Structure 1
């Protein structure tokens, strides 16, 4: 009956540092859980660390309450549940391992990359390789490598990479926190001589001011360095530890330059075969520089890493009018362009990535689109060879490969698509091909920006702009399991908060922008909105409790900047087509949303006085908003007013918005756009939204599809105007696809989808929809179709949940429902967990 045991929303994670990590499970059938019993111990089946006893209740998420494990220790836990028929068998054991509590390793680097007081030491030099050897005198039964590096590292044991994760470590404020990873390397070790290798690149932590490459900014948080600690347990019960420090050696590697924004240069003739294997000739290497840098900033990464998630072979080799070969991988992606060649040594190749081609068939790069110039270079070694950058990534669909021999075809280039490896959980498909394409380009843009933070574009900025993280939370979470990922984002956002409470528009704040690009409530409000969204979607209170003070400080900061409830500064409704929307209106809406969410959060955490105070603040903002902006008549103004629950003085606002949307006259920007779908969806104006969804005139999503977009673009007319071709900020319609057309929603007051509302709309000529997503209790799925004058609806409700199913009013009055359904209204039925079929006919 019990399955999918997870710790911190991860399966058997290594390096957990929370003393009370959340433990969760799912049920395998439709039984109703009435009690649970969790045991945790130092070995499978034991309860020497924790035993809850038999607890009454339906909770499928509890916090570990046992004795905190020591550094690196493993906790095994299991659960059984009770339903109406009694107790289940014990589940198979899950486990989690604690993080390091004792770092004896030291930070090290190549001596050429360290000059006290000179952050630009190493500029212009090849990137370092670091290696250390050690001897194991007996068999190893367990080995863990804890490793971190700045800015990007690739670690290996005995010549084999320790992980398929790439671009490690994730973005953080590297002066305050560096994320380390823990790897099980037991199978990579052997008796006798062993070696650990670390290749280093500067990443975004150390951006050089190279004059020949594009730079969003330059500056250094930390020069390249590495730290690694190998902890082993032997068959006889003893243990050992090997780590970076004196005795390690350094040399220059074949990557001669890497710039996070501008490109990477690699000379394959300089490769050192077996450099990270035991017994390698390192006689010409130099002793590493051992740094006095603190290990106090090291914290375990607690979310999925970036990995290669797709391989897209080039679909064509194009030839520009000047003869330049250009490879098309078929879609706009983010990641690496990999070369596969068989050439003699010494050929110089330049790879120019981009999203679009000019009239002559060459790749377009410009500062407003991708940034310029961006290029990678590769000098061949002799024979068969493959290469891709290791220490940075690009956004592209096309890759010029200058200097490539004519005889090589499309097989020479493959796109390795990278993203944070959050598990895909959503499906959405309709009978309308255009709508399916819109969903595809939005999803492609989400993937193209789902890195260690949610970026706005994968080329010219690569920065974590915060408005998208919460305004489009449902767009991301309907399609991917982001419970652990978003908690990690929150840590990064909280680290960026200033002493006076301000949360900047980007996090980490690698670049300090001028106001209002640093201080807008619809960006900084992510610190308040995300904990609440995690609670609503996953039933997880952890983030609200952890970041409560940061949330409170931010709302109080906004209050200190407001004038009688009105916040008078900000970016407004960014990229809106209507310039008449007052900036203070948009900012005050964001201020209200933060205050309202703060009140709800305080209530959920039983902080009654705070809840009362922030509820009063929210009501005061609403009153001030209504008085100040009652005459504002732009589309965004009316939408945000309705979203707050205010009835504007000017009548007919809802009808005006519906007709404008129906006629393709949408003028809102990215702030008001999610509210537009929310307001019209709640009001049942699905016909208007459907006409907009299927429009191909500018502005519309269909315009982008019809003009060749393979990922959502930065502006409504992006494919014909330029700008970024990989931007998900306008992707709000995807939330309506799931909620409106798929009908998958959550009842008011429910958390974690314990109580579902299934209410699909069937607008226009839409004939069928299939949609599904994951909840903490399992998969929820909806499938409907029109057939022979009838409407057929199939609903899957996960174990532990229940649903109210509401059939659309299509003039079909004969309703057929399963025996388990209980009538809840004229066209509504209550159903428990299970798979159910409904029909409406004449």
Structure 2
């Protein structure tokens, strides 16, 4: 930024959200991005209305001029906000020459219901037949709830704060209040329920109004339905709802309504809501006036449950997928192919007589006879829709209280031959904003990228699941082992905070963090107590800090991290090493001792704990954790190193890769161990033999030591085991196993998605310096490899968008790189042997040549370089 510029900051965020509504953090962190230049200091104004900001009279907070170059993680330090209060804010910055920018555009946030007393008078309500498990009829339709009310004054602002045990859909005057679906998100329902705040100002009218709530079971209540698939059976209680409506009128008065005995209920059209087994809907059952009766207030299902605001993007419909073909493998049985494996809802469009029952069976695979293959469940999963029968045209329906993972939909019971638009797919996922993209000249690599991205989408719900068709559980190792696959494609700064809180809620009294969170099922010890899984309580917050500068999450959960570290200490052997767990899960070479993967996790956790403690000002703890990591590293080397063979443990790819990734291999042995690892890859025909734990380390180590050529050879394979095998055998999302398309396991699973880090961080070269936080020091280090002729990628860092593109030309290589404002970035370009280093563009400062690369320091803008052949 040149002296005298007045460009204002942009992209203002509160708790990593744009214009959040109903948050319950009284001191949220604020962030922004620069439009140009480098920030030296900043000033924040916060006021109760935008007019006060415009007048320069912030009545909530004036931070004054504060030194600091980062625009992330600035904690609101103003007056305490009350419940349901709106705050308006703006920020300006000064550059290094002392020139102030213009004030940013005004942004805002709004608090939710911060105190238990804010819910005073609100009662949990449901239908009488759903009030008690002792009198509940499992065949009873799911309840509808409604409250009629009259507004005799114009409305200035209206909010409804709502939650439910199970899932709910809220409406005002017959229209949904939000695009959010499957609310509330999954939590440990006996400890925490999420409530959401909806702006319904425009939906209300002066005069008569009606609030409505539709209820479903969700995973909070999984009934045992004969013949239907269920991964597990559990119940935190029968569905019920809780809500508070606040209406501010233009004359300053307020109308407040709560869920209580004044609400009405009627049996709804949903006659079955089974999270794993499907939904049934009878459209003839729309209630009439005589079907409504008083709702029943019931006690809270868990007296001490905490109501927390949803402070992450909800699940929404993000895409519609049309069927690409329709087959009739049996008379009257039609199979629709969407052409891609998705997670979400099959949507039916059908006309016919009242009472016609149509079944939709979702599946990822087909039998040889062309019918859908649901062998993965052992029991059936299907949705059923019974037509209302109208003269007004086709009826359109999809489930509302469950979701599925599927590519194919088998439809039975249609009253006539289907049309091309009879079935389509509605893709659901947490509505995290896209944050990156990748493409290249190689169709195989582009296809692999699409596989990973589709698997991320298919499992990015209110928890990061392992697969959407079979388990829908939050296995924790994925949150950190394949964090780049998620975060390089989507902004998950707010989303991951929720995941970490789920981990803390799942932690036991002994400090154990189980393998899944929320812990809806207690698995046997090796599945429940592997440090690569439970260690997510440390490693996921560490990723949040490194990527987004999130110290608030570190501080909030540091006590849980300490308790988990103590738990691990209680399970070490006499040499201080862990030896239990799942090992290198789904590896082809299963010779790697479980102690190798367990000690790897323990070392990573201790190392991260040291850096976390330093980041939050716990210096003594930082030294203690670093000493622990050092002891684990020495014990790992002493126990597993084979000096004669220059390898670790059994000599597996996993053992060598994990040791190298930890940095515990002595300098004198590092080259030999790397050679052994590469020889192992070559001996396997340029294939990996590792599982999900060692895969990120293998790719990271090879690239870090300049052997991207080996990674290229791995990723170019199309025989098993390889990513390419999945592509050439018809996968449209990443599968659970290397040979997943022919093995028949999950066809939508993200745990092998580590290759995304190589695509964006090595081929395109977008990364940050080792000691950087929130990309305050960006490094672009592209790597041309193999016969690639073109690579292009972008990534939205907290500083702004980085773009990196290169292509081969007749004269060599051309690089086009864009970096955002802030601290100068570093570009490191490969220089082929014998070629001259490119001339530095005007404004780029040469840093010299090392390791076959030439470096430049550059500021904000787009930079073009040409390197000779």
Task: Please indicate the TM-score interval, normalised by the length of the shorter structure.
Answer: over 0.9
1:35 aligns with 2:41: yes
Q: Residues 405, 813 of structure 1: CA spacing in aligned structure 2 closer, same or farther, 3 A cutoff?
A: farther
User: What residue is the counterpart of 2:315 in the other structure?
Assistant: 306
Deviation at 1:18, TM superposition (A): 1.1
Find 2:125's aligned residue among 92, 108, 111.
108
- 2:845 is aligned to 822
**2:105 paired residue number:** 92
Residue 688 in structure 1 maps to residue 710 in structure 2: yes
Matches within 5 A, 1:232-381: 232-272=247-287, 282-293=289-300, 294=303, 297-321=306-330, 324-367=333-376, 372-381=379-388
1:82-137: CA deviations, max 9, x gaps?
1236212211211111111311211101110112x64x834221100011111111
Counterparts of 1:560 and 1:785, CA distance in 2: 54
Instruction: Measure the CA separation in 2 of the matches of 1:348 and 1:497.
Output: 45
1:60–1:254 CA distance, 2 compared to 1 (3 A): same
| 2:665 counterpart residue number | 647
Cα distance in 2 for residues equivalent to 1:257 and 1:651:
61
Other-structure match for 1:276: none
| 1:411 counterpart SS class | coil
Unaligned runs of 5+ in 1: 273-280
Which residue among 240, 254, 259 is the counterpart of 1:225? 240
Q: Distance in 2 between matches of 1:394 and 1:317?
A: 20
**TM-superposed deviation, 1:650:** 9.6
Counterpart among 211, 214, 228 of residue 229 in structure 2: 214
Matches within 5 A, 1:794-805: 794-805=816-827
Distance 1:525 1:371 in 2: 32
Q: 1:2 aligns with which of 9, 15, 27?
A: 9
Q: Is the Cα–Cα contact under 8 Å of residues 831 and 837 in structure 2 kept in the other structure?
A: no
Aligned position for 2:836: 813
1:420-466: CA deviation from partner (whole Å, max 9, x where unpaired):
00001111000101100000011000000000010000011000000
Per-residue deviation at 1:655? 2.0
State the partner residue of 1:579. Answer: 590
Structure 1 residue 449 corresponds to structure 2 residue 459: yes
The CA deviation at 1:405 is 3.7
Map of 1:833 onto structure 2? 860
Question: Which residue in the other structure is 2:27 paired with?
Answer: 20
Cα gap change, 1:829 to 1:797, in 2 (>3 Å): same
The C-alpha deviation readout for 1:737-792, integer Å capped at 9, x for no partner, is 11110101111211011101111111111111001111111101101111113211
Aligned mates of 2:680, 2:785 — CA distance in 1? 17
Q: C-alpha separation between the residues in 2 aligned to 1:203 and 1:405?
A: 31
Shift in Å at residue 308 of structure 1? 0.2
Q: Which residue of 2 aligns with 1:616?
A: 627
1:817 positional shift: 2.3
TM-score normalised over the length of structure 1: 0.97
| Secondary structure of 1:204 counterpart | coil
1:515 aligns with 2:549: no
1:302, 1:755 → 2: CA distance? 28
Q: Is residue 652–residue 680 contact of structure 2 (8 Å, CA) maintained in 1?
A: no
Who is 1:536 aligned against? 546
Measure, in 2, the Cα distance between the counterparts of 1:376 and 1:805. Answer: 54
Correspondent of 1:166 among 181, 199, 205: 181
What are the equivalent positions in structure 2 for 1:412-431 lying under 5 Å apart? 412-431=422-441
Q: Is 1:133 paired with 2:148?
A: yes
Query: Partners of 2:664 and 2:498 in 1: how far apart?
Result: 35
CA drift of 1:551 comes to 0.7
Looking at structure 1, the residues matched to 623 and 67 of structure 2 have their Cα atoms a distance apart, in angstroms, of 32
Distance 1:743 1:706 in 2: 27
Paired position in structure 1 for 2:766: 744
Aligned to 1:187: 202
Q: SS in structure 2 opposite 1:547?
A: helix
Q: Is the 8 A contact 2:70 2:776 kept in 1?
A: no
Structure 2 distance, partners of 1:801, 1:308, is: 38
- Structure 2 Cα separation of the partners of residues 310 and 744 of structure 1: 28
Q: CA deviation at 1:321?
A: 4.8
- Aligned-residue offset at 1:329: 0.8
**Match of 2:730?**
708
Which range moves more in the overlay, 585-594 or 427-436?
585-594
Say which is worse superposed, 315-324 or 34-43, in terms of deviation: 315-324
Give the counterpart of 1:491 among 473, 498, 501. 501
Question: Contact conserved, 2:777 with 2:823, CA < 8 A, in 1?
Answer: yes
- Post-superposition CA distance 1:494-530 (Å, at most 9, x none): 1000011000000000111111111100000000001
Give the gaps of 5 or more residues in structure 2. 1-7, 643-648
- In the TM superposition, what whole-angstrom CA distance separates every residue of 1:246-278 from its partner, at most 9, and x where no partner exists? 111111111101100011111111123xxxxxx
Deviation at 1:406, TM superposition (A): 4.3
Tell me how far apart the structure 1 counterparts of residues 855 and 799 of structure 2 sit (CA, whole Å): 23
Answer with 341-350 or 761-770: which moved more.
341-350
Whole-Å separation in 1 of the counterparts to 2:803 and 2:823: 13
Q: 1:723 and 2:745 equivalent?
A: yes
Deviation at 1:489, TM superposition (A): 0.8
Distance 1:814 1:155 in 2: 63
Q: After superposition, what is the alpha-carbon deviation per residue over 1:574-615, rounded to whole angstroms, capped at 9, x for unaligned? A: 000011100111111111111111111111112111111111
**Distance (whole Å) between structure 2 residues aligned to residue 219 and residue 831 of structure 1:** 57
Using the alignment, how far apart are the partners of 1:538 and 1:356 within structure 2? 39
Q: Return the match for 2:65 from 54, 67, 74.
A: 54
C-alpha change, 1:371 and 1:658, in structure 2 (3 Å) is farther
Change (3 A) 1:371 1:810: farther
Q: 1:407: Cα distance to partner?
A: 2.2
1:59 Cα shift?
Answer: 2.5
Q: Which residue of 2 aligns with 1:595?
A: 606
Q: How does the TM-score come out when normalised to structure 2? A: 0.94
Cα separation, 1, equivalents of 2:824 and 2:488:
19
Does 1:760 pair with 2:782? yes
1:808 deviation in Å?
A: 1.4
1:754 counterpart SS class: coil
Aligned to 1:670: 692
Distance in 1 (CA, whole Å) between partners of 2:137 and 2:517 is: 27
Separation in 2, partners of 1:319, 1:824: 66
Matched, 1:81 2:103: no
For residue 58 of structure 1, report the CA deviation from its aligned partner.
1.4
SS of 2:612's equivalent?
Answer: helix
- Of 314-323 and 777-786, more deviation after overlay is shown by 314-323
Distance 1:361 1:406 in 2: 20
Q: Is the 8 A contact 1:15 1:300 kept in 2?
A: yes
- Residue correspondences, number: 829
1:792 aligns with 2:814: yes
CA RMSD in angstroms, aligned pairs only: 1.4
User: Aligned pair 1:142/2:157, yes or no?
Assistant: yes
Cα 1:245–1:580 shift into 2, 3 Å: same
- Partner SS, residue 730 of structure 1: coil
CA contact (8 A) 1:536 1:750 kept: yes
